[in-house]
């Protein structure tokens, strides 16, 4: 009864679809190197993929309410996504699908030490713009369309939420917008990197029909 009441307060249905919420997982329990070498950055990325959640950094009460009001919640199989959902809604059984996994990092061969953010910017920049990675980009956008279709299918039955990953969340958001959804609400993050790319940040999408 409580979940049903929460749904009616938080989500308004249009003629065809309920809203879709896309959120990034919470902060990972892993120390960040300040100026790693390429090898140290690669080691960090590998450790990040295995790491769970830093439970001392809590999500907003608003995100908790949204997740608990959703009819279905999707996650990737990653530990950080699953532990994020357990923190948000311990009683929830998620729909786990590898289509929502994060896009791998493409680490350039660069000598010397760089700030951690610079390494991330380079890896994503190569994936986004380098001509040799055209097929990689194409595969990511095709996967994002499949992910968006899964979320859209769920939205025909009730409010849907995804606990996903920063970079691939952006691709899913783009696929939703291209298929006629509109971003109705943002929380957390910035306009530069995107709410769905920030820890515990989220966006709510509504059908444009």
6-50 pLDDT, tens digit each: 443 444 444 578 999 999 999 999 999 999 999 999 999 999 999
pLDDT for 12: 45
Give tens-digit pLDDT for 114-129. 999 999 999 888 866 7
The fold of 2-207 is Rossmann fold (3.40.50)
Sequence-ordered list of residues with C-beta below 8 angstroms from that of 159, at least 6 positions apart, any chain: 7, 10, 11, 18, 19, 20, 21, 66, 69, 70, 71
Q: Residue-wise over 133-148: b if at least 16 C-beta within 10 A, else e?
A: eeebeeebeebbbebb
Q: What is the pTM of this model?
A: 0.85
Q: What is the pLDDT of residues 142-155, one digit of tens each?
A: 999 999 999 999 99
Cα 39 from Cα 168, distance rounded (Å): 24
Domain ranges in the chain are 2-207
């Amino acid at each position: 009864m409580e979940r049903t009441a929460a749904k009616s307060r938080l989500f308004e249905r249009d003629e065809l679809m309920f809203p879709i919420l896309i959120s990034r997982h919470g902060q990972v329990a892993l120390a960040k190197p300040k100026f790693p070498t390429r090898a140290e950055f690669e080691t960090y990325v590998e450790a990040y993929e295995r790491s769970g959640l830093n439970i001392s950094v809590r999500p907003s009460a608003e995100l908790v309410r949204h997740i608990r009001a959703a009819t279905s919640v999707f996650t990737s199989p990653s530990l950080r996504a699953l532990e994020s959902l357990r923190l948000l809604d311990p009683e929830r059984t998620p729909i786990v699908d590898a289509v929502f996994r994060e896009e791998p990092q493409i680490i350039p061969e660069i000598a010397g030490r760089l700030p951690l953010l610079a390494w991330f910017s380079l890896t994503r920049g190569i994936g986004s713009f380098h001509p040799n990675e055209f097929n990689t980009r194409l595969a990511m956008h095709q996967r994002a369309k499949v992910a968006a279709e899964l979320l859209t299918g769920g939205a025909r039955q009730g409010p849907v939420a995804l606990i996903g990953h920063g970079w691939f969340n952006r691709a899913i958001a783009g696929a939703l917008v291209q298929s006629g959804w509109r971003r109705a609400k943002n929380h957390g993050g910035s306009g530069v990197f995107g709410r769905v790319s920030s820890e515990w940040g989220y966006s709510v999408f509504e059908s444009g029909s």
